[in-house]
A and B are shown apart, each in its own frame.
Chain A
Amino acid sequence: MQGRWTRVVRTPLGLTATVLVVAVVALAVLGPVLWGSGAGAVDTDAILAPPSAEHLAGTDNLGRDILLRVLVATRLSIVLALLAITIAVVCGLVLGSAPFVLGRRSGRLLAAGVNIAVAFPGLLLALFFAVVFGVGATGAVLAIGLAGAPAFARLTQTLVAGVVARDYVAAAQAMGIGRLRILVRHVLPNIAEPLVVNATIGAGSALLSFTGLSFLGLGVQSPSYDWGRLLYDGIATIYVNAAAALVPGAAVLLAGLAFNLFGESVAKGLGVPAGIGLGAVVPGRRAVPVDAPAPAGRTAAADRPSDVVLDVRDLEVTVPGPAGPVRPVRGVSFDVRRGEAIGIVGESGSGKSMTALAITRLLAGRGRVDAARLEFLGQDLLAPDTAVRRRTLGTTLAMVFQDPMTAFNPTRRIGAQLAEVATHHQGMTRRAAAARAVDRLAAVRIPDAPARVRQYPHEFSGGMRQRAMIGMGLMGSPALIVADEPTTALDVTVQQQVLDLLTAIRRADDVALVLISHDVTVVGEVCDRILVMYAGRIVEDLPAADLVTAARHPYTRALVDAVPDMTTDLAEPLATIPGRPVDPADVPRGCAYADRCPLAGARCRAEDPPLVAGPDGPPGHRVACWHAGEPLPAPAGRDYDELVESP
């Protein structure tokens, strides 16, 4: 919290705005004390004098110094503006939060009233109220305050609605806590920040409105004076002494700007951190480290078997983080052969999705991809993008995302979105592309495909959308499908259909599959080979058949044991992994898993184990662990889960 406020001051704009606001407030406090008598001093010898060394901005029709009067007027102008904005905020809060307290029916009526009030122009309302409340400062304050209220009511209403939808409000209701109490304890604290920001900006516009009203003669009346009043007086003599109008004008401008900029920079500072740039985001090619462990089954590029679809060596991904570049993928090497299904499993933050985005070149401007080699069907993916390569990738590489709702454009028909792939990459005519879209939807077992292509994404169920997404990948003739948590958002029965579909496509056309999931059971069922990722590295690479019976890394074994299946022993507690995953911004020395590992020793904390095949194991089973395959000790009875410090 504190950190975010200091961030506001740290930007040049934020600093300037803060200094301006502090200066204006200081002037409002000190002005009348220092120059009060000077500003009131009548000098009949110098009536309407032009600017001089004695009166820097000249004098008014009673010979009073205009600069001093402007400085002194700061207090009244600011106080009136703040009073008005307070009225606006308080009324807005009451009106905006009332719908939640009152319940559905009367709340809806009130909300409708507020919505109508918002539609009236603010200044018109202010003029209306000024007439109702009479000419003078009180009337003007009420007028501007009440005219500002609907906007705040609307804002509050929206913010309250957002917080009320959260589960902690539902939990409080389930506890039997009254609505008013929920409002005060749970809702208001969570909407305070945006309200404060908007109130600050509102103070600036209240100041301007006030000046406007005073200038029109509807605001402050003589002998009191604020900036608007001084402006009104100054305009009358603008041809005699321009400074008389310009100085109060400049004061209004500066103060208004101060409040507005302060509000803006607070809003910006409290928002999402901008992050630290990486410089030019270009793919880089790293020198191949001499001691880099070669992926299983081959040693050099020369004797590369021709059936390798995807070849990844020493892949690294770097993304900007709040405290400097973060490396979520740290040296990942693997290859995928034709028709092979590779599963990548790991907890959130293990770098599995980043790996997928890096190999499909979808990381774009969000991060930097480095690798000793990154080849797809023999094409270098690190080379600069060309039209030819885009076409090849567009037709031979398919990506399936977790949330198919956001992966489709909701405003276009499914068929058109599928056909676009074919017209764009394969140069098909629109008619041929449309026919292929129908054919492909049928191929992913969407019933009544000719009618379905004319529907929009929201008319498809979740599972159907995911199948359509796969169908989109099949518009070309893919050699590789990369699926990132394709079934996580789906029900079990639908999940099974999607997994079966992926398997069928793989069998039919010898398509390779990279399936990314947090669920070892899903991956174990569909894939041939499994890569287990932890803290941006592959810690084990093993055949899927060995996952349950012959996993050698303590993390893999814990992951398998932690998930209950239909044969889990009900008498025993499930295995758990103590602690929490490594923060990619702060990867420890040595083995990243050491802190959570029951086998960890001094060597684990000092040296990061390489990913190698075991001396007695099969060459296709690689593991990165100094204690691979050692028996795990009985789980120690940990009493508490430690409190984890914030990063």
Chain B
Amino acid sequence: MSELRFDDVTVRYGRTAAVDGVSLAVPPGAVVGLVGESGSGKSTLARAAVGLAPIAGGRITLGGVPVPARGRSRPLQMVFQDPYSSLDPRMTVGASVAEAMPPGGSRADRRAEVERLLELVHLNPACAGAVPARLSGGQRQRVALARALAARPRVIVADEITSALDVSVQGAVLNLVRELQRELGLSMLFISHNLAVVRYVASHVAVMRRGRLVEQGPAARVLTEPGHEYTRELLAAVPGRTTRRSRP
């Protein structure tokens, strides 16, 4: 297991710096929640990590070596926000998952691996033959998770993976994320604008604003005794903070 580190990373689009000198670490086996408003650069940071956005400065390393941006071996995988756009509509679920698997192995091995992965994300292995149009949003997001896991990643970057889902489905996906993290010991960079969601899955929290990291630390501390004004503002804005929950 190895640590994902961002060292003074800068990403520029034209003249504007979408990410401006961000240093952040995702310790092995930990879930780091990255919060911030839209345009704060959190998605750009994620895309830079998996090689989808060019970095203008700094380094992104995994276990001390730079994250490879070429070749088939990709230890970092990403799950996207919109489950309706992240699966090829012309490919069966099985083919999508199999595509991400490292090359090699017999056809039977690969099929068995696809079935194992689908079971891992609580989908019926019979789903493998279905096209995404037959699945609900939550089911698609699980396929996307299975596809990310198929590449045997050391770290998964989850970019707003529940924000396009209905609340009833969001819970199931969050439960799955926690379960996978516990069972597989996955490290994860979990991006969300929803603090309650981040609180539920993440052990560490980092707060971004205008391309810069304004605060980071253990979730329990950042969310209860925020050190930065902006974090306090975010916390104050969480809806339902006035209501008390009690299970019936």
Contact = CB atoms under 8 A, between A and B. Distances in A.
Interface of A: 166-168, 170-177, 185-186, 189-190, 347-348, 462, 491-496, 499, 518-522, 524-525, 547-549, 551, 557-568, 570, 573-577, 580-581, 631-632, 638-646
27 contacts: A168-B96, A173-B51, A175-B77, A176-B72, A176-B73, A186-B90, A186-B91, A491-B193, A492-B239, A493-B234, A518-B166, A521-B243, A559-B167, A562-B171, A564-B171, A564-B199, A568-B199, A576-B172, A577-B169, A581-B168, A640-B119, A641-B138, A641-B139, A642-B124, A643-B139, A644-B134, A646-B133
B175 A574 contact: yes
A469 B168 CA distance: 30
B245 A496 contact: no
B4 interface: no
Given A168-B86, A641-B124, 19 more contacts: A166-B86, A175-B151, A186-B90, A189-B90, A190-B89, A496-B236, A519-B167, A521-B239, A557-B248, A563-B167, A563-B171, A565-B240, A566-B235, A573-B175, A581-B168, A640-B119, A641-B142, A644-B135, A645-B134
B180 interface: no
Contacts of B89: 190
B200 A639 contact: no
A171 B78 contact: yes
B78 to A, nearest CB: 5
A167 B85 contact: yes
B147 interface: yes
B136 A644 contact: yes
Contact of B248 (A491, A570, A631): A631
B144 interface: yes
Contacts of B87: 168
Contacts of B104: none
B170 to A, nearest CB: 7
Contacts of B130: 643
B122 interface: yes
B223 A548 contact: no
A576 B119 CA distance: 18
Interface in B91-131: 91, 96, 99-100, 119, 122-124, 126-127, 130
B214 interface: no
A548 B246 contact: yes
Contacts of B234: 492-493
A418 B223 CA distance: 41
B143 to A, nearest CB: 11
B121 to A, nearest CB: 9
B237 interface: yes
Contacts of B15: none
Given A525-B240, A566-B199, A347 B123 contact: no
A528 to B, nearest CB: 14
Given A177-B99, A563-B170, A573-B178, A568 B237 contact: no
Contacts of A525: 239-240, 242-243
Contacts of B47: 170
A577 B170 CA distance: 10
B82 to A, nearest CB: 6
Contacts of B174: 564, 574
B245 A567 contact: yes
B139 A496 contact: no
Interface in B202-248: 223, 233-248
Nearest to B100: A175
Contacts of A548: 243-246
A559 B195 contact: no
A565 B86 contact: no
A567 B247 CA distance: 12
Given A173-B52, A574-B175, A580-B136, A492 B122 contact: no
Contacts of B166: 347-348, 518, 581
Nearest to A463: B37
Contacts of A563: 167, 170-171, 196, 240
Contacts of B133: 646
Given A170-B80, A496-B236, A525-B242, A347 B168 contact: yes
A175 B70 CA distance: 10
B124 A640 contact: yes
A174 B80 CA distance: 11
A185 to B, nearest CB: 7
B237 A174 contact: no
Contacts of B168: 347, 558-559, 562, 576-577, 581
Interface in B44-62: 47, 50-52
Nearest to A347: B166
A567 B240 CA distance: 10
A139 to B, nearest CB: 39
Nearest to A550: B248
A186 B88 contact: yes
Given A173-B51, A174-B76, A643 B71 contact: no
B197 interface: yes
Contact of B77 (A174, A562, A565): A174
A641 B139 CA distance: 8
B88 A492 contact: no
Contact of B78 (A174, A496, A645): A174
B175 A643 contact: no
B5 to A, nearest CB: 19
Given A190-B88, A558-B168, A642-B124, A492 B194 contact: yes
A175 B238 contact: no
A492 B237 contact: yes
A174 B69 CA distance: 8
Nearest to A549: B246
B12 interface: no
A174 B242 contact: no
A632 B248 CA distance: 8
A175 B49 CA distance: 12
B189 to A, nearest CB: 13
A177 B98 CA distance: 12
Contacts of A642: 124
A406 to B, nearest CB: 17
8 closest pairs, A vs B, by CB? A521-B240, A574-B171, A496-B237, A167-B86, A491-B37, A562-B171, A167-B80, A577-B168
B170 A562 contact: yes
A348 to B, nearest CB: 6
B138 A174 contact: no
Contacts of A496: 236-237, 239
A553 to B, nearest CB: 12
Given A492-B238, A644-B134, A575 B37 contact: no
A518 B171 CA distance: 14
Most A Cβ at <10 Å: residue of B99, B133, B240, B244: B240
A176 B244 contact: no
B126 A565 contact: no
Contacts of B171: 561-564, 574-577
B80 A568 contact: no
A493 B91 CA distance: 39
B248 A493 contact: no
Most B Cβ at <10 Å: residue of A492, A551, A575, A640: A492
Contacts of A575: 171
Given A347-B167, A562-B168, A641 B122 contact: yes
A562 B162 CA distance: 12
Contact of A565 (B196, B247, B248): B196
Contacts of B236: 496
Most B Cβ at <10 Å: residue of A176, A494, A632: A176
B51 A174 contact: yes
